[in-house]
């Protein structure tokens, strides 16, 4: 026993230091299989979820969530309001705003701001889409525009937290973590949940890493953020002079030590640490191939407008398709720059020019590869923008808004060409077929083959769910 304690201390120091070297802070999500199985090569492909899932027909296999961080204006994208335009510059009737949560316009004179762009009808469906989104217009018959979203948090960070975890309480599991916990992923060489971020526009709000955390779920299910420039994961390449065999021997030795300690104390997080080292090793093999775009034809790069490695939303969309092809279950893209309190016309141009064409390319690319039929794409921000004007010396913008905004879905069983729900004449309140964020979560889980009310974990004496304890409905009207 006296010989064991020094070894434990040295081992912990070694794991801490070498864990940083392998990037395990980012990699500690992921694999359910242990190191010995990896050595023999006899483990099944992919990372299993819980044995009871899927418990419904699985209509999609993966999710790509395109988050327009900052809150895009529904009134300049998908929700045409002619009456609001007629009231431009006039006071907003107090019946709309009395007692309502308002962010930066609180206590100020509230005047209507009509849309600063035009809308036209596109496709056989005749969906109304603004002139800011000419590439979205080309896929009008592929997307379902939901105009009646509501959320509960009016400032950026808590609104992201609510959108991503279903609660404003920090530290709860994120969407991608819940999904991977429930049904696992189809790859054991890459994380089941990957996050990518790009920047461009006004006042790009920071996105905290806890937005893709695993909370009280095992740490292997947390999201892994890939860098958009340089190496996607720090230290993913082997050091100079260190060969694959040496790396394998190191990982095996650490795994044996961890298993010995796990047998002694039974801490489940030790299994996650073993999995993290195994995943780190596999990623050293798989990530360079993933990010090497030399096999992409020029016409595909041109379709996205991508210059791989430039950190752009376009390049991230192309990488999202490659991740989806390789079995990643949940892919979350953030584009930061949609916080348009002023400079609305200028920054709508910037943000739409950066994201419109690549979004079209991603949907089109998946469609032509036969992957859109089992992929769910979700597009939207953490909230919308006010029908009221927020101005800075005549440089108009819009404030945060939670009572009515637009998002769209596509892929799998989603009814393309459908406009669902509606806001009132000013675009202030959702009034028809209202869709709460929890309903969005429930609908996503349902398409993945997961009963929203069945996906729960006992924590602090409660059955915790992504959809929370309040009723959440699956929006079946938007599905075939």
Reported in sequence order, the residue ranges of 219-361 that DSSP labels E, i.e. its strands, are 224-225, 330-338
Q: What is the pLDDT of residues 460-470, one digit of tens each?
A: 999 999 999 88
Beta pairing, strands 143-150 & 224-225: unpaired
Query: What does the pLDDT read at residue 9?
Result: 40
Lowest mean pLDDT among 5-19, 281-295, 325-339, 360-374: 5-19
Average pLDDT, integer, range 116-142:
98
- C-alpha separations of 38 from 44, 45, 193, 390 in Å: 10, 11, 21, 58
Confidence of residue 409 (pLDDT cuts 50, 70, 90): very high
Report the first-to-last Cα separation within the chain, whole angstroms.
64
CA 265, CA 447: separation in Å to the nearest integer?
40
pLDDT greater than 80 at residue 4: no
Residue 138 burial (CB < 10 Å; 0-12/13-18/19+)?
middle
- C-alpha separations of 193 from 72, 116, 133, 179, 359 in Å: 25, 38, 29, 9, 20
| % the chain with pLDDT above 90 | 73
Query: What does the pLDDT read at residue 280?
Result: 63
Arithmetic mean of pLDDT over the chain:
87
pLDDT greater than 60 at residue 20: no
Spans of all domains in the chain? 62-236+288-464
| % the chain with pLDDT above 70 | 80
Average pLDDT, integer, range 73-100:
96
Residue 413 near residue 478 (C-beta atoms within 8 A): no
Query: What does the pLDDT read at residue 17?
Result: 42
Q: What is the pLDDT of residues 277-333, one digit of tens each?
A: 566 667 677 888 899 999 999 999 999 999 999 999 999 999 999 999 999 999 999
CA 219, CA 215: separation in Å to the nearest integer?
8
Residue 366 near residue 410 (C-beta atoms within 8 A): no
CA 427, CA 77: separation in Å to the nearest integer?
12
CATH class of 62-236+288-464: alpha beta
Q: Which residues of 438-468 are buried (b: 16+ CB within 10 A; e: fewer)?
A: bbbbbbbbbbbbbbbeebbbeeeeeebbbbb
Query: What does the pLDDT read at residue 106?
Result: 87
pLDDT greater than 70 at residue 377: yes
Average pLDDT, integer, range 347-367:
98
Query: What does the pLDDT read at residue 13?
Result: 44
pLDDT greater than 80 at residue 179: yes
CA 183, CA 51: separation in Å to the nearest integer?
8
pLDDT greater than 50 at residue 11: no
Closest by CA to 165, choosing from 234, 108, 221, is 221
Average pLDDT, integer, range 420-433:
98
Verify cis geometry, omega within 30 degrees of 0, for the bond prior to 202.
no
């Amino acid at each position: 026993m006296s010989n064991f304690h020094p070894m434990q201390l040295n081992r912990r120091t070694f794991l801490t230091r070498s864990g940083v070297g392998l990037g395990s802070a980012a990699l500690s999500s992921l694999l359910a299989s242990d190191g010995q199985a990896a050595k023999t090569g006899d483990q099944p492909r992919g990372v299993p979820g819980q044995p009871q899932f899927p418990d419904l027909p699985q209509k999609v296999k993966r999710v790509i969530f395109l988050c327009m961080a900052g809150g895009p204006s529904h009134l300049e994208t998908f929700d045409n309001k002619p009456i609001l335009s007629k009231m431009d510059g006039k006071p907003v009737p107090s019946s709309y705003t009395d007692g309502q949560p308002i962010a930066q316009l609180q206590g100020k004179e509230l005047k209507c701001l009509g849309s600063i762009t035009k809308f036209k009808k596109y496709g056989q469906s005749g969906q109304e889409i603004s002139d800011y989104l000419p590439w979205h217009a080309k896929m009008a018959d592929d997307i379902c525009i939901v105009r009646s979203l509501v959320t509960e948090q009016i400032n950026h960070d808590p609104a992201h937290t609510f959108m991503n975890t279903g609660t404003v309480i920090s530290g709860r599991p994120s969407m991608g973590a819940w999904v991977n916990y429930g049904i696992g992923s189809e790859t054991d060489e890459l994380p089941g949940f990957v996050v990518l971020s790009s920047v461009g526009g006004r006042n790009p709000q920071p996105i905290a890493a806890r937005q893709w955390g695993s909370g009280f779920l095992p740490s292997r299910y947390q999201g892994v953020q890939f860098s958009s420039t340089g190496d996607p994961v720090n230290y993913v390449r082997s050091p100079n002079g260190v060969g694959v065999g040496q790396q394998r021997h190191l990982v095996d030795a650490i795994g044996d030590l961890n298993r010995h300690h796990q047998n002694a104390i039974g801490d489940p997080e030790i299994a996650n640490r073993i999995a993290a080292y195994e995943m780190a090793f596999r990623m050293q093999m798989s990530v360079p191939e993933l990010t090497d775009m030399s096999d992409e034809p020029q016409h595909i790069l041109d379709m996205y407008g991508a210059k791989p490695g430039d950190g752009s939303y376009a390049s991230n969309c192309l990488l999202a398709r490659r991740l989806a092809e390789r079995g990643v279950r949940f892919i979350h893209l953030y584009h930061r720059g949609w916080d348009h309190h002023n400079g609305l016309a200028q920054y709508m141009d910037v943000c739409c020019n950066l994201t419109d064409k690549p979004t079209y390319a991603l949907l089109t690319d998946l469609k032509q590869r036969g992957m859109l039929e089992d992929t769910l794409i979700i597009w939207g921000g953490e909230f919308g923008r006010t029908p009221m004007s927020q101005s800075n010396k005549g440089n108009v913008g819009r404030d945060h808004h939670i009572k009515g905004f637009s998002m769209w879905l596509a892929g799998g069983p989603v009814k393309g060409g459908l406009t669902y729900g509606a806001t009132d004449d000013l675009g202030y309140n959702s009034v028809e077929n209202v869709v709460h964020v929890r309903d969005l979560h429930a609908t996503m889980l349902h398409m993945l083959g997961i009963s929203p009310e069945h996906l729960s974990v006992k924590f602090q004496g409660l059955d915790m769910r992504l959809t929370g304890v309040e009723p959440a409905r699956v929006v079946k009207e938007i599905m075939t």
